[in-house]
A and B are shown apart, each in its own frame.
Chain A
Amino acid sequence: LQTIADDSTLKWYKELQGLASHCAQSFEDLNNTKDMQTKKMRMELQKAATIPVSQISSISGSQLKEIFDKIDKLLLGRQVLSGGKSVSTSQHPHGLEFVSYKLAEKFVKQGEEEVASHHEAAFPIAVVASGVWELHPKVGDLILAHLHKKCPYSVPYYPPMKDGTSIEEYQQILGYRVDESGVEGQDSFLKRMSGMIRLYAAIIHLRWPYTNKQGLQIGPHGLNHGWRWLAQMLNMEPLADVTATLLFDFLEVCGNALMKQYQGQFWKLLLLIKEEYFPRIEAATNSGQMGSVTRLEQFLEDALRNKQIEPPKGQLNSAFWRS
């Protein structure tokens, strides 16, 4: 087994990181402005981009559509009402880049915080993200770039330790939060990574129901990426804890969709996990960290025995979209 991802995976990852830093540079003047008026406008644009995302919930389809339309309008450069004031990205030459960047960052943050604590929140957030991505592909690229940076396992990418990097720096690259009090605990880290991978697994199999472009059978970042992610994970040596946790989270959210799409080939993947990959996960894991390993094992056994994977809990149904 490899210890690093395929060249094509790494190339894609680097391209997206380059694109995101290029975007961040474009609005640097907006970030560093001393001008009070411009500062105020920046705050308002940021709010207009992030507040709708934090309001996403599974209350009703019509409420979700309102939120979606607001984000779409903002990205189209139209005037939107935010906190009683009218704002538009056309107020600044780099307003659109700024808003796209902040919006993408917020989607990922909702995965990291909201989905991490409430797994079912993945679906309404993902369906809006997928729709925005479809109409505004640049935002999609930025979502991927932020997601990859905060959760390298979503690439999947296991960053190697480089000479001259301190342990703390390296842990940060691996996705751990590091502050004055030190490195965050393993439980908190795994919970955040789970939230982000669950959001990703939901995005790849959901599609915004109102933008169906004719003749397009696949969303902006479709299930083929689910296949790619799983295959790439399984071609690499497992890491203690992280691999078992993320495989389980991923399969619980989009296993049903992958099963329907790839049928016999998907069952070949599951069989390979159970018979050849799982023993390697067990061998890599300390006896104190077996919780995630046991959950994955149970999931694989149930799926292979019943020849079935249930749809994920919390998936949005047709009654939701009528509400």
Chain B
Amino acid sequence: RKGGRDGLYTPLSDLTPDELREFTAKRFTLGQIPLRPPPADLLSV
């Protein structure tokens, strides 16, 4: 269970550009919510 795949959070460095955009934006885009959980560093937006 090492790494991000089964973790509670996705490591920031693992995010795709699309996922990063969704997690750093004020709002999610309908239909584009990342299936992987957010990174621990981006919990407050």
Q: Do B35 and A8 touch (CB < 8 A)?
A: yes
Q: Do B8 and A261 touch (CB < 8 A)?
A: yes
Q: Using a CB-CB cutoff of 8 Å, which residues 1-32 of chain B contact chain A?
A: 1, 6-9, 23, 26-28, 30-32
B27: chain A residues at CB < 8 Å are 268, 271-272
Stretch at the interface among A13-21, A61-69, A189-197, A228-236: A228-236
Q: A224-B37, A228-B37, A272-B33 are in contact. Are A265 and B42 (CB under 8 A)?
A: yes
Q: Is A1 an interface residue (CB 8 A)?
A: yes
A268: chain B residues at CB < 8 Å are 26-28, 45
- Shortest C-beta distance, A6 to chain B (Å), equals 6
Greatest chain B CB density within 10 A among A217, A223, A234, A265 is at A265
- Shortest C-beta distance, B40 to chain A (Å), equals 10
Mostly, the B contact residues are loop
Chain B: number of interface residues, binned into ranges: 20 to 34
Mostly, the A contact residues are helix
Q: List 18 A-B contacts (CB under 8 A).
A: A217-B8, A218-B6, A224-B6, A224-B7, A224-B9, A227-B37, A228-B36, A234-B30, A234-B33, A263-B43, A264-B42, A264-B45, A265-B42, A265-B43, A265-B45, A272-B30, A276-B30, A277-B30
- If A6-B35, A272-B27 are given as contacts, then 7 extra A-B residue pairs at C-beta distance below 8 Å, sorted by A number, are A1-B30, A216-B1, A227-B38, A228-B36, A264-B44, A264-B45, A272-B33
